[in-house]
Amino acid sequence: MKKQLLRQQYDRWNGTAGAWAQGYRAGNLVFLQGQTGLTLDGDTVFPGDPAGQARQALDNIRTLMELAGGSLADVVKIVVYVTDRAHRQFVYPIIDEYFGDQKPCSTGLIVSGLALPELVVEIDAYGVIDDEDGDR
């Protein structure tokens, strides 16, 4: 099974050198790193705003799934991390907007913090993309 790096991000904000994968496709499986209120280029948007960060995370996931040759319809599992239980009321309606009636399986976790203090939402995503024959 061939592994394809979809995109990587270079560390610009904490002063250390390095890069990390934002997503991989391996065969028909897609694994996306947790997306947050950072753009794919690492710019912070919507600091402290759970709804805005959920939108940014899902926009990133959509872009990465398209780079993999799929779409949001191919996402089968998400893991949603929030730093405050109250953020869920803002995040889940945004998820509903993006996925509609075809929502993936979901796990929600409340965590004490994320990579930066202004980040309050992170979403991991896993997808399965049909091959040329329509098989998964």
**43: alpha, beta or left, given left = phi > 0 and alpha = psi -120 to 50?**
beta
Q: Is residue 119 part of a domain?
A: yes
Compute the average pLDDT of residues 53-57: 98
The answer to whether residue 15 is domain-embedded is no
The average pLDDT across 40-68 equals 96
Q: Cα(108)–Cα(131) distance, rounded to whole angstroms?
A: 30
* CA nearest to 37, candidates 60, 14, 53: 53
Number of domains making up the chain = 1
Measured between alpha carbons, how far is 14 from 10 in angstroms, rounded to an integer?
11
In a domain, 12, yes or no: no
The answer to whether the CB of 57 falls within 8 A of the CB of 37 is yes
Domain assignment present for 133 = no
Using 50, 70 and 90 to split pLDDT, how confident is the model at 86?
very high
CATH code at position 87: 3.30.1330.40
Residue 99 located in a structural domain: yes
Helix (H) or strand (E) holding 61: helix 50-67
Asked if residue 92 is part of any domain, the answer here is yes
Residue 37 to residues 29, 43, 65: CA-CA distances in angstroms? Answer: 25, 8, 18
